[in-house]
Amino acid sequence: MPPKFIDIGINLTSSMFHGVYHGKRVHADDFSHVMQRARRAGVDKMIITAGNIKDCHRALEIAKDDDELFFTVGCHPTRCSEFERYKDGPDAYFNVLRAMFQDPATKSKIVAVGECGLDYDRLFLCPKETQIKYFEHQFELAEMTGLPMFLHDRNTAGDFARMISENRKRFKDGVVHSFTGTMEELKFYIDLGLYISINGCSMKTEENLKVAASVPLDRLMLETDGPYCEIRTTHASFKYLEAMTEEQQALYKPPAKNKERFELGLTVKSRNEPCAMGQVLTILAHLRNMDPDELAAICYKNTLRVFFPEEAENAD
């Protein structure tokens, strides 16, 4: 039996899970197969990452009939221009987000504010000043709801760290997802009481691996960030996947085909999906010289504590 996982960052609203890439249909819709593979591989809950109003509505559609699916509500840094382009203005955009947290029909499905933060790698999608302005604004949602923040930080030269520390009193818990920072940044966030979530992108280089192996166990969470951040042969982490047994291979890294040669029931090369949680676990367990089941249980518990506190109490 595989250990239990919660994929805390999965972009299930992506059209790639329906066979559509960059607006073009490439293969048949295999969303239900993705979900089946996830469950078989021990992924029991998933937190769908929503990054704008449209995403939030889509996430709700996906999550509403499935007891184990949840989602975030917020605006991604690369999407923050939407506040200003919104037909009734930025306040109206903000109010739509805020209303989702208050709506009895959606409330129970929303487990975090986000994803929000800063991303200076993709300033062409949204200028710095706009990102900062609306990141700042979203702390209000965390303040209002008491929910944890699902945070995104890319190449922000200290701006993200500064904003987090300035606003630290406004939110209880926060997770820096898809963490790719330095040892110093890791220490800074840990000192601020944040959690760190690791995926394939967090383990590309030898330096990344050292940082990933140093996240304190009581602050560690796992995610795939699918369909992005798959673990590639060129990544420093890849060699550790050899440690997987045949059974684990079948669950966590099942046979794949290029999207152009798609076969229903197989995975798609370079489209990451939640069944790969076990790959992230295998690598981290190896790096930390730990029993994978034990490590999975720790991450699971951390995740319950932050995103599903009622369940965490029952589990104790």
Least Å from the CB of residue 262 to Zn ion: 27
β-pairing, 24-25 vs 20-21, is antiparallel
> Distance (Å, rounded) from C-alpha 200 to C-alpha 84?
33
Contact predicate 39/45, CB 8 Å: no
Closest to Zn ion by CB, 152 or 235: 152
Least Å from the CB of residue 117 to Zn ion: 7
Least Å from the CB of residue 40 to Zn ion: 26
Closest to Zn ion by CB, 177 or 235: 177
Structural Rg of the chain based on CA atoms: 19
The residues that touch Zn ion, with contacts defined as CB under 5 A, are 152
Question: Which parts of 103-203 are beta strand (E)?
Answer: 110-119, 149-154, 174-176, 195-198
Phi/psi of residue 47, each to 5°? -110, 115
DSSP-assigned letter for residue 3:
P
Least Å from the CB of residue 98 to Zn ion: 22
Helices first, then strands: H and E counts in the chain: 13, 12
Closest to Zn ion by CB, 152 or 253: 152
Residue that the structure tokens 């995610």 belong to: 223
Contact predicate 138/75, CB 8 Å: yes
Least Å from the CB of residue 145 to Zn ion: 20
Least Å from the CB of residue 193 to Zn ion: 20
Closest to Zn ion by CB, 30 or 223: 223
Closest to Zn ion by CB, 126 or 241: 126
Contact predicate 82/50, CB 8 Å: no
Contact predicate 10/199, CB 8 Å: no
Least Å from the CB of residue 168 to Zn ion: 20
Least Å from the CB of residue 78 to Zn ion: 9
What distances in angstroms separate CA 107 from CA 64, 89, 147, one per listed residue? Answer: 11, 24, 11
For residue 313, which amino acid is it?
Answer: E
**Number of Cβ within a 10 Å radius of residue 118:** 26
